[in-house]
Every structure is written in structure tokens, then in C-alpha cells.
Amino acid sequence: MCSVVKLSESDSYLQERICILKTEKALRAGGKIKLTAKEVEVNKLILDEKSAELSKAHKNVSEYLPSRHFFQAKGDIDRSKVFSIIKNIPKGASLHTHLLAAVSVDFIVENITYRDNIYGCFLNGNFKLTFLQNANQDTRCLWKELKEYRKEDADFDNWLRKQLSLEVENPAATYPSIDVIWQRFKKIFTTAYDMLCYRPVFEDYIYQLLTELYLDNVMYTELRGTFMPLYELNGTIYDTEEFFKIFIATVEKFKQVYPKFVGVRYIHSIYRGVTSEVLKSGLDELMGMKIMYPNFIAGFDFVGYEEEGKHIVHFHKELSEASRQLKFYFHAGETSWYGYTDLNLVDAVLLNTSRIGHGFGLPKHPVLMEMVKARDISIELCPISNQVLMLNQDPRNHPAVYLIANGFPVVICNDDPSAWGATGLSYDWYVVFMAMTSEKAGIEVLKQFAMNSIIYSAMSDHEKIEALEKWNLDWNKFLDNILNVLA
């Protein structure tokens, strides 16, 4: 630690100041990384661009993109020089992505919804999409082909995009509260689910998901999803075993075309509002599938609006028993409440979760903070999700800033990118880099985030070593490219 300042000695004062800043730098994420000569050169170029962009914001805060709502800032982010650098960074892995909101809405509308045999209808107040041989095959409602909707309404595609995402021009007016936006958010999944369960679409959807990640320099992903009853037009419905066979075959097909892509793991998700009996049955089925597909199924998580569902402690007996065979990756602390919903963090840690999804409420719990760091539990940070879903308006004030500043193992994730018109990881990386790290933090923190995503993945130790070796080759190519372009 630095010695006590002697205010009468100006030189001592400045030395003390330097000492404090150096000590803080060593503590924060990336602070222990020693840069190579090439990384030092690239770091100067990156920090020049970061400082230039922040300098504009210092003079005019309206120029500061991360504090603007993502829907209104995205176009300007696309034009940012810092963002263009981040897009080219080999980011390692995407570890917190929900399967049903992971592909761009443009692809869904322009590719999937223009196929033959796709129908839509309103059911219980929600617009649903599905594939049918004819409208009479499903009697739940009055199905109509999408081409008929398009004949009746020239603006149908724009309307459909709004059913599949949260994007609006004025989010503050459209979503006046967190409860309102969550109710709207849940409807997106209702609209898309049946459509994505159609086996040919499911395969193309997974392939496109991996393509969008790969184009954003992501080499591995872990996807949260449910067992989807895939079907054919003739009415054939595949069981859970076939679901995994089709899923894995699609991943392998992608890897054959893109051999640099390392792979996929699946984290099974169950709605946090189920009964104990439903959870027990679901966990038993998952454990059976885990035996069959041990290298594909990573573990288990709860999903859903954390304020609505039951707290994890409600299921602690069932989960404790399942922990002998399953790893957990719990969403926990995705809340502003203190001493209520955030107590899911206590149970996540007690149940030995491998990672914590969001962990927004973690800094309110000093004992848990120590336990998380001692147990080396990483935090899945999803800053754009937290802003859009109204947990945090300005990422400069996000609780994870404290975690990053104190060197907690943080992994940058994208959560449900299609719901806010994003693809890949770069937008979340940009927000974290520009708003949640020090202005003086450069390539060392970016390198740490990428390495964290591999180190804290569900891959085996051997796979992690191989992935880090592949990532390091891409990292060095990135350094060379930056020097060629910006030097």
C-alpha cells in the first residue's frame, strides 16, 4: 500500500497519487497481464481512439453513446472507430445466450417467414407463427398464411418485426416500467416458438446463429434452451433424444465448414415458476440426457423474470440432490431489490453454481462477494440486456463496474441479442469497454475478457488449453491487422 501523504511536500503528494493509481490498475481486470512489445504498440492505438471518443463526451455528454438507450444509440455505435476495432477482436466465447432470441430479426423475417407453409394467427392475445400443411391441421385458432397477411397489409413485415423484438423509437414512452417491458419481452418467445420448432427451420436457425457469432469473431458458445418438440409438416414429432441428435448434427455440419469454430454446449433451462414436482421430473430427464450426451449438455439453469418466479431456496432439496450429477449456471440477482429477489445469489453460491448470470445485486452482499471471489465463480455480464430491460439506464453506474475494478472474473455476454436488434457480442463488449472500464484501461482488459470467456466455459481442461492456443493465434493476427490499418 501507499504511504501516508505529506501535504507539505508537493513531490511526495504527486508520488502518492501515482502510487494509488498504479495500485488500482494492478487490482482491476487485466491488471496482472504483461503486454508484449506488439501489444504495447496496439494498446496506444486503441487508447488513442478510446480517448478521442470519450473527449467528445466530456465536452458534450449527449455524444456519449453508452448512456443513451441502445435502440437510439445503435446507429452511432456502428459508426464508432472503437466499435470497428472491437468487432475485429477475437472474443473467445459467448457463454450466456438464450437460444430463442439469438438470431437477427432480419434473418427470421426475410428468410424464415417467406417460406412455404408458414401460417400466423392470434391466440390468447398473442400472435403466433407455425408451419402447417394446411390451416385445418391445427385447430387451436384460425390460421392464415403469411402471404395472405402481406397481401392485406403492405407494412406487414414491419409489424412482424415488432412482434419479434423490443425495438421502438421511443422506449421510455412505450415501456414505462420494468413489468411492462418484461410482459412484452415474454410475448416474443410465444410468437416465435412453434415456428422455430419446425425441424428444417430449427436446423437453419442454429446454423445462422453460429454464423452470426463466427462473423463476430466468436469461436465457441453455450446456449440456454429447453427441450423443443421438433416437428415435420406431416405431423411427425421428434422426442428429446432426436432433438439433441438434430442439434448436434447441425453443429457438426457448421464445424466442418468452419473448422476454426470450437463448438457448442447446451445449458438446459426450466421456468422458475414451476412446481417442485415439475422441476424434479425435468431434472431427472435432463440427467438421463446428460448420460447420453455428456459432451454437449453442460448443466442447468432457471429462466424467466426473476421477480415473478419462485426463489431458488424453494427448490434447494431437489437441486442439492441433482448437484451430484449436474453443474449449475444460475441466473441470480437480476434485480434491483435488496434482501428479497437478490437472495437467489445466496442459494446460487451455496449450490456451487459454476457461473452467475447477471449478478446485478451482488455488490450489496459483502460476504457473498468474498465467497464468489474465493471460489472463482465468474459473472456473466450482459450490459445491454440490463439497460433495455430497465435494470440500469447508464452503464457507468452499473454494479459490475465495481467487480471489474476489483478484478472479479467477469465474462461479457449478450443474453437475448435479437430482442434488441443486435448480433454477436461486439455491442456488449463496446459498452463495457467504453463505460465500465477506466478511461486508461486498454488492450489488457480486452485480452482478459476474451481469455475469461474460455477459462470459465464448460469445456474440459484439455479443450480449454486447445481453445486458448487457437485463440492466441487469432489474437496475434488481430494485433498485426490493427498495426497495418491504424499505425
Instruction: Judge whether 64 and 395 are in contact, CB under 8 Å.
Output: no
- C-alpha closest to that of 304 among 222, 189, 177: 189
The candidate with the shortest Cα–Cα distance to 385, out of 343, 416, 409, 345, is 416
Segment holding 225, helix H or strand E: strand 218-225
456-487 burial, b for 16+ CB within 10 Å, e for fewer? bbbbeeebbeebbebbeebbeebbeebeeeee
Q: Which three cell numbers stand for residue 283?
A: 431434472
Contact between 109 and 160 (Cβ < 8 Å): yes
Half-sphere exposure of 221 (CA within 13 A, CB side): 29
Active site residues: 334, 358
Nearest to 432 by CA among 468, 470, 403: 403
- Count of CB atoms situated within 10 Å of the CB of 321: 12
d(CA 287, CA 280): 11
Report how far residue 181's alpha carbon sits from residue 283's, in angstroms, rounded to the nearest whole number. 30
Name the grid cell of 355: 457461473
Q: What distance in Å separates the CA atoms of residue 32 and residue 11, rounded to the nearest whole number?
A: 27
State the first-to-last Cα distance of the chain, in angstroms, to the nearest integer. Answer: 38
Sign of CA dihedral 70, 75, 81, 86: positive
Identify whether the C-beta of residue 328 lies closer than 8 Å to the C-beta of residue 308.
no
List Cβ neighbours of 158 (8 Å cut-off, separation of 6 or more): none
Where do the H-state alpha helices sit in 197-310? 199-215, 240-257, 276-292
